[in-house]
Chain A
Amino acid sequence: MGFRNWAYQLLVVSAIIGVAAYMVGNAQDAMEKRGISTGFGFLLEEAGFDIGETPIAFQSTDTFLRAYGAAIMNTLKVSIFSIVFATILGVVLGIARLSSNMLIAKLSSAYVELFRNTPQLVQIIFWYTIITQLPVPKQAVSLFDMAFLTNRGLVVPWPEPNPAYLWTLLAFVGACVTAVLVVRWADASRRRSGRRVSVLWWNVALIAGAPLAVWMFSGAPTTVSIPKLQGFNFVGGAAMSPEFLALLLGLSLYIAAFIAEIVRAGIQSITKGQIEASRAINLSPSDTYRKVILPQALRVMVPPAAAQYVSLVKNSSLGVAIGYPELFNVNNTIVTLSGHTIEAIGMMMATYLTIALVIASIMNLYNKSVQIKER
């Protein structure tokens, strides 16, 4: 590398440092004039504002830091629900688009084109206006008299809190993990002995049976809280606010269109020869799917899907347009009330960056596990 290259770099770096120092100096002057001390000490001061809905208890006498935490949890809550919903819908739509049934394929592709080619923000606001113009609770749109849709959001039946549910859930997770281990063991033993061990029904029994047994054993609670109209609103069940519901719909219906395209491309990337070859070596249809189609399709699907999930989490910041108290929205309030613009925006950006990096690295790990193992 010649002298000129080093000189160039030195010039660029010093120019950037110079401009940055100049700007920071300006900002400090402005802050001093307004009498605002820089630093993160303000986070422990009293917030003095309320947040509409929070997963953790929050009052206006709590600190800015707690407001921050509540906002992050709101962002994560809407993102996780949306990712699950978008993935399920996207996979169904993607498979439907490849269906030999022309009507189903056309309907699915109409959905994809419609939702992909309109701005997500307009979609979110559109859902919000629809929900807020729904009838009042007294004339609620009833879904089988179990769930009710009103201008105050959606209420659904929800199991009454009982430790038995937690144990049942744990049993289910445990059974799933065990089932995976059993499949691995069966594969390994087949490789060793050449004899096929059928474990499918054992696994079905395990996954269905274990949670059921735990549920029965812990007293078989069946109490489900069904929402009932009382006065002007519903009590009981689990309620979703109009803001949450609109953002959930706006995020998941939009991303589902992109997931559908990714799933379609993934399945189409498997050439017909692969399926014919697996039939030729006498693989069963389930083995063909599990060992030939899925691993290869996943390899194509995982990286773009990860990018879509990151994009979904970032776009949850659009909740600000309809007043859902997610990170960006609450941060705006913090900026206005505390005056610590630079610190608050810096913290918010660092938080989004961290979430994006965490999703990216989880997906990278997963991606590594489905990549071609070259031996």
Chain B
Amino acid sequence: MTVANTISRAEVGASPRRPPPAQESGAVHWLKKNLFSSPFNTAMTLLALWALFVTLPDVIAWAFLDAIWRTDDPAACRAAAGACWAVITEKHRVILFGTFPYEEHWRGTLAIVAIVGMAIISAFKRFWSAWLFGAWLAAIGIVLVLLLGGVFGLTPTGTHQWGGLPLTLLMFVGTVVGGMPAAVLLALGRRSSLPAIKALCVGFIEVVRGVPLITVLFMASLMFPLFMPEGMTIDKFLRAQIGMILFFAAYAAEIVRGGLQAIPRGQYEAADALGLSYRQKTGRIILPQALKIVLPALMNDIIRAFKNTTFVSIIGLFDVLGATATALEDPRWVLYAQEAYIFIFVLYFAFCYSMSKYSEHIERDLSKGRNL
């Protein structure tokens, strides 16, 4: 055995620091890696850049450079080459508040503030409790007082005068607040061991999910009065609200059911072993866990419920979309419908996008706990 062969060639101490390879950093490398990594990618990048180059300048010129921002004379818009945003400065009151009396718009504004404020509070996990549900009911009560009037010296304003963003938001909140308990009951009913209850819940859920929302609303607004005794009428807003709640509940029930099925059987058995009643078992053990699992999926449905509030404009309510259509009936501004619709696109996008980003955040937040 020779000693020389076993001598390590490792150097003692740190070797001198070497610079990173030239291509691994810097703007050129970033471009190479993200935009020009292969001939195909280079072609795609050039194609996309060309498309942007062709369209963007025109879009910017139309939307900003040549646009008319403020004028009460549509003729000025016709002379300009760009967008006529003046239609919004002229008509924003109608778009945001519909046919609500002009002097009372402050009440509509307060209603919007109340609902958006409650939504922001609900976003924080530390406020999640049974109290929050109560707070929502109280907020809805305040909003109803603001919109209905007739008390505290407020001028009475009937639901037929409601419109715009307050109507959209109230319809949305009413749908979720009214639909969630119904969804939980339907989901529990569908998993019930009582055959008649189960069949009723399955039938309701499947039929409502199989037909378009607009037919449900149509039934609520057109067919429902037929079924009532003569002389008895139910408010149009309320009928639409009931239709929205039923539709939302059927979809949300299926999601809640998914959550109920995801709870391991041991949880049910442990609750039974402790001698808990059905109500205690469901309310304190199963539902809190199930709802937590399905929250991200529920958020998708809630966002859809927000987008679906536009459907009530078809049955003649003046939500933001319906109010915009009314505003555009003015023949002087009818040519600038695109600008008005782009404005409400931005409005709806702001609400939906923040909800969807929040839902992504909550999904990450909740899955963190489960991996521990």
- By a beta-carbon cutoff of 8 Å, the part of chain A in contact with chain B is 1, 5, 8-10, 12-13, 16, 23-24, 26-27, 29-31, 99-104, 107, 113-114, 116-122, 125-126, 129-130, 133, 314-315, 317-318, 320-321, 328, 332, 335, 341-342, 345, 348-349, 352-353, 356-357
B219, CB-defined interface residue at 8 Å: yes
Contacts of B335 in A (CB 8 A): 133
**Given the interface contacts A9-B196, A122-B344, A328-B215, does A26 sit within 8 Å of B226 by beta carbon?**
yes
Task: Write out, one digit per residue, whether chain B residues 198-232 have a CB within 8 A of any chain A CB (1) or not (0).
Answer: 00100000010111111100110011001111100
Interface size class of B (residues with CB under 8 A): 35 or more
Task: State how many angstroms separate the Cβ of A276 from the closest Cβ of chain B.
Answer: 20
Contacts of A130 in B (CB 8 A): 338
B96-155: which residues lie under 8 A (CB-CB) from chain A? none
Complex Cα gap A111–B352 (Å):
15
Chain A residue nearest to B303 (CB atoms) is A117
Contacts of B276 in A (CB 8 A): none
**Given the interface contacts A104-B45, A122-B344, does A117 sit within 8 Å of B352 by beta carbon?**
yes
Complex Cα gap A103–B46 (Å):
10
Q: Which of B45, B197, B212 contacts A314 (CB 8 A)?
A: B212
In the complex, are the beta carbons of B215 and A352 less than 8 A apart? Answer: yes
Complex Cα gap A153–B1 (Å):
93
**Given the interface contacts A26-B228, A117-B352, does A352 sit within 8 Å of B307 by beta carbon?**
no
In the complex, are the beta carbons of A345 and B219 less than 8 A apart? Answer: yes
Contacts of B303 in A (CB 8 A): 117
Contacts of B210 in A (CB 8 A): 352-353, 356-357
**Which of B34-42, B85-93, B156-164 lies at the binding interface?**
B34-42
Complex Cα gap A99–B193 (Å):
49
Complex Cα gap A360–B47 (Å):
39
Contacts of B211 in A (CB 8 A): 314, 349, 352-353, 356
Complex Cα gap A328–B325 (Å):
21
In the complex, are the beta carbons of A341 and B226 less than 8 A apart? Answer: yes
In the complex, are the beta carbons of A12 and B196 less than 8 A apart? Answer: yes
**Given the interface contacts A103-B45, A352-B215, does A16 sit within 8 Å of B223 by beta carbon?**
no
Q: Which of B44, B45, B215, B349 contacts A349 (CB 8 A)?
A: B215
Contacts of A116 in B (CB 8 A): 352, 356
Complex Cα gap A117–B41 (Å):
29
B358, CB-defined interface residue at 8 Å: no
Q: Which of B45, B194, B311 contacts A8 (CB 8 A)?
A: B194
B195, CB-defined interface residue at 8 Å: yes
* The 5 A-B residue pairs with the shortest CB-CB distance in the complex, in nearest-first order: A23-B227, A117-B352, A102-B34, A314-B212, A9-B196
Chain A residue nearest to B226 (CB atoms) is A27
Contacts of A24 in B (CB 8 A): 227
> Could you pull out 21 A-B pairs where Cβ atoms are within 8 angstroms?
A9-B194, A9-B197, A26-B227, A26-B229, A101-B45, A102-B34, A103-B49, A117-B353, A118-B348, A122-B310, A125-B321, A133-B337, A314-B211, A317-B215, A321-B313, A321-B314, A348-B215, A352-B210, A352-B211, A352-B212, A357-B210
Complex Cα gap A13–B194 (Å):
12
Task: State how many angstroms separate the Cβ of A353 from the closest Cβ of chain B.
Answer: 4
Q: Which of A27, A118, A332 contacts B345 (CB 8 A)?
A: A118
Complex Cα gap A16–B203 (Å):
13
**Given the interface contacts A30-B230, A317-B212, A342-B223, does A101 sit within 8 Å of B307 by beta carbon?**
no
Task: State how many angstroms separate the Cβ of A104 from the closest Cβ of chain B.
Answer: 5
Q: Which of A1, A12, A113 contacts B353 (CB 8 A)?
A: A113
B341, CB-defined interface residue at 8 Å: yes
In the complex, are the beta carbons of B321 and A121 less than 8 A apart? Answer: yes
Contacts of B308 in A (CB 8 A): 119
Task: State how many angstroms separate the Cβ of A79 from the closest Cβ of chain B.
Answer: 12
In the complex, are the beta carbons of A320 and B349 less than 8 A apart? Answer: no
Contacts of A120 in B (CB 8 A): 307
Chain A residue nearest to B350 (CB atoms) is A117
B291-323: which residues lie under 8 A (CB-CB) from chain A? 303, 307-311, 313-314, 321
In the complex, are the beta carbons of A129 and B341 less than 8 A apart? Answer: yes
Complex Cα gap A20–B188 (Å):
23
**Given the interface contacts A100-B41, A129-B341, A342-B226, does A119 sit within 8 Å of B348 by beta carbon?**
yes
Most buried by B among A117, A126, A129: A117
Contacts of B310 in A (CB 8 A): 119, 121-122
Q: Which of B37, B209, B309, B341 contacts A100 (CB 8 A)?
A: B37
In the complex, are the beta carbons of A118 and B200 less than 8 A apart? Answer: no
Contacts of A101 in B (CB 8 A): 34-35, 37, 41, 44-45
Task: State how many angstroms separate the Cβ of A361 from the closest Cβ of chain B.
Answer: 12
Contacts of A5 in B (CB 8 A): 194
Chain A residue nearest to B346 (CB atoms) is A118
Task: State how many angstroms separate the Cβ of B111 from the closest Cβ of chain A.
Answer: 21
In the complex, are the beta carbons of B49 and A119 less than 8 A apart? Answer: no
Task: State how many angstroms separate the Cβ of A325 from the closest Cβ of chain B.
Answer: 15
